[in-house]
Structure 1
Amino acid sequence: MKKLVILLVFVSVFAQETTHTVKEGDTLWDIAGFYYQNPFLWPYVWRANLTNIADPHWIYPDQNFIIPPSPEEALVEVPEEMPVYVPEEEVTMIPSALEPTTEVISVVKPEERIFSEEVIHRAGFIVDEDMPYWGKIVGTEPKAERVITSFKKVYIDRAGDVAVDDKLTIFRPGKVITHPKTGKRLGREIIVLGTALVEAIGEEGSRCKVMASYDLIKDGDFVTPYEPILAPEKVELIPATKEIEGYVVEVKTERRLTPPHVFAFIDQGEQAGIAVGDIFDVYQERNVGGKDMPDFKIGKIQVISVFNEASIGLVLADREPISMKRGERCRLASEAR
């Protein structure tokens, strides 16, 4: 009975609107994760504040946002006629922080496991050649949606070999990845925007529901069958047993809706024996008065996806702000096993 009372109070509190004042470093992704315990509900915060948010990629300190009731909580109904009896000794006090308020609350960012399927998926991937065409978004429900976010309906131009509940990856081709020193092509970046589930199948197309949006999705973006990701539960590291040096090929520092992760590409992959979990130290070359000085370590990259001639990793900066850039040298420091 005690648990029931706590649940009812929690639902009644968070079914009301509150207000959040943006702090430095906040994102809609973080805010939704804090208030709803589900960062993929960021579009609900965005839509409730369209007059204040011109672009959901950019929000600014001291902006005040309405935090609407979670769509998940709105589905919970508490019957008024159901009396609740709680013995006096079992009453649990609800912390005052849960009371309806417009008081400013700073976002607490939950710790996220590095090697989760979601993190690896939204980091994107690298293909040797251009992605073969499988399908694309050709319409929305309702029609002419300007941008597409979580839980929106979309239509795709694929029907014959699709089944209800098939999971799809929504993506956009990125730029060709080249080596910073030799110019050699290492592959093409694929920017993963989210996932969708097939809901219904027609003669020449299918209707899907967007289940997760890592960034803004648009009509014309591409879809392909989702490939399950084997994310290791834990990684045991040992000092590097082989000498492998390479270069940072790209650092994805542009503002996205799904921080705090900064992803980087390096020019070492399967051909060099790189594995998920391996850590590279990254160095900047130092020159003082025209004289070469010892290199300076600025951070680390932990590999989360490995491809033929390149890998994608998570930047682990030794200092802020992240100053890592294309062309800097990296050296294998720890191996995963």
Structure 2
Amino acid sequence: MTQRRPLGLTTIYAALLAGALISAPALAAGDYPITPKQRETAQKVAQAGVPLSELAPNAPDTYTVKRGDTLWAISSLFLKSPWRWPELWGMNDDQIKNPHLIYPGQVLVLVKADGRARLQLGRDVTGGTNGDVKLSPRVRSTSLDDGSIASIPQHLIEPFLNEAIVLNTDELATAPRIVAAQENRVWMTKGELAYARGEFTGDSEYRIFRKAKPLVDPVTKEVLGYEAAYVGTADVVRPGSNAGGAQEVPTTLKIGVARQEVGVGDRLAPIPARGYTSYMPHAPSGPVDGLIVSVYGDAINAGQNQIVALNRGSANGMEKGHVLALWRTGRVVRDGTTEANDAIRLPDERHGSLFVFQVFDRVSYALVLTVQEPVTAGDRFTQP
């Protein structure tokens, strides 16, 4: 643990205020990349806290962090809109250079003053008389993968960061493809050999995808991109030779990860280098009105903690970390109180929230954070 000087009332973790959640193994706390936008956000809300009107009705005075908690879950105890947690965690601006996360066992203290609320990090250091407890601020500097809690349930989206891809065109149609298996098998699984043809890039590791399917806008019917279903991974065991010749020898692969059985015709794409993934929960800067294109996988409906594709991407101003509101379309009913028995449409009702974590040109993926009814293709979303 790195020793630090005692910190003031509103000193807590800059990663929370700056909104940084970094996915990188064993990354030292001093190496967190902070973007200019995150720094600007931190400077705007540092020391501010949130208005008392934004607190949840039964917000606790203290809370002890437990293993398995997420910042979203904790913030939902304190806030009506948990995605606003960066505003709740105040700290000194000079800590931006060295962000921190919170850990199981630490005590969070809700401090109310001057019409605003802030969270202070403390711990039980001494037991006083008459049951009094003394709370003392502290910070902790360490690597990311040592038990610190995540902003959102990271395990739910982690596989999609490398596995879910959307292509502007059906590029996989010309990618290297699996053409045969050992002993004339139709399907292959982990540890088995496969043989492939095509233009290989010289990489030793490849992702395996099934034929890409078009993602179609529910209203315009325009193809927004091509979603490739992830199958698994494969390592090159032996390169092919005499490509396209009369005596061509295909490339030999060994199946690694197999999310599902690998088949002849599946396509190959190099495994990209893993970079930093930074999430800053925030509302879109302007109005947003879009529709859910599909539920990821084979499901027709989506519930909490499932992934959906949206018909808005970076070309529409969508960003990682955007929090969106889900709406249920109002039903058409008959007004039985009149002789005309008029048909009327009930207003749309908000019934959930989305968290955008992966953005492509014209399509985004979002995690269903909360929902009251099943989500289906064609459902609407807006800014919160």
Report SS of the residue matched to 1:183. Answer: coil
The residue identity in structure 1 corresponding to 2:318 is I
Native 8 Å contact 1:298 1:324 kept in 2: no
1:241 to 262, 266, 285: 285
Q: Does 1:275 align with 2:319?
A: yes
1:161–1:155 Cα change, 3 Å? same
The residue identity in structure 2 corresponding to 1:199 is V
Gapped regions of structure 1 (runs ≥ 5): 1-110
1:130–1:202 Cα change, 3 Å? closer
| Structure-2 residue corresponding to 1:183 | 221
Give, in whole Å, the separation in 1 of the partners of 2:287 and 2:268. 39
The structural deviation recorded for 1:270 is 0.8
2:160 to 119, 122, 138: 119
| Structure-1 residue corresponding to 2:381 | 330
Give matches, 1:54-69, under 5 Å. none
The residue identity in structure 1 corresponding to 2:275 is L
1:179–1:131 Cα change, 3 Å? same
Q: Does 1:140 align with 2:178?
A: no
Give, in whole Å, the separation in 1 of the partners of 2:155 and 2:289. 27
Q: Does 1:153 align with 2:193?
A: yes
Give, in whole Å, the separation in 1 of the partners of 2:217 and 2:344. 26
Give matches, 1:37-76, under 5 Å. none
Q: Does 1:131 align with 2:171?
A: yes
Give, in whole Å, the separation in 2 of the partners of 1:231 and 1:313. 18
| Structure-1 residue corresponding to 2:344 | 291
Give, in whole Å, the separation in 1 of the partners of 2:289 and 2:208. 34
Q: Does 1:209 align with 2:254?
A: yes
The structural deviation recorded for 1:301 is 2.8
TM-score by length of 1: 0.56
Q: Deviations over 1:163-220 (max 9, x none)?
A: 5xx1111112232221111112212221111111112223232211222112222122
Q: Deviations over 1:220-239 (max 9, x none)?
A: 2111222234352x523134
Q: Does 1:310 align with 2:363?
A: yes
Q: Does 1:170 align with 2:208?
A: yes
Give, in whole Å, the separation in 1 of the partners of 2:307 and 2:256. 23
The structural deviation recorded for 1:281 is 1.8
Gapped regions of structure 2 (runs ≥ 5): 1-152, 242-248, 335-342
Native 8 Å contact 1:115 1:231 kept in 2: no
Report SS of the residue matched to 1:235. Answer: coil
Larger-Rg structure: 2
Report SS of the residue matched to 1:286. Answer: coil
The residue identity in structure 1 corresponding to 2:329 is E
| Structure-1 residue corresponding to 2:354 | 301
Give, in whole Å, the separation in 2 of the partners of 1:325 and 1:174. 21
Native 8 Å contact 2:156 2:305 kept in 1: no
TM-score by length of 2: 0.50
Give matches, 1:3-18, under 5 Å. none
Give, in whole Å, the separation in 2 of the partners of 1:252 and 1:286. 25
Report SS of the residue matched to 1:120. Answer: helix
| Structure-1 residue corresponding to 2:26 | none
| Structure-2 residue corresponding to 1:74 | none
Residue-pair matches, total: 213
1:226–1:267 Cα change, 3 Å? same
Report SS of the residue matched to 1:294. Answer: coil
Native 8 Å contact 2:212 2:227 kept in 1: yes
Please tell me the root mean square deviation across aligned C-alpha atoms, in Å.
2.7
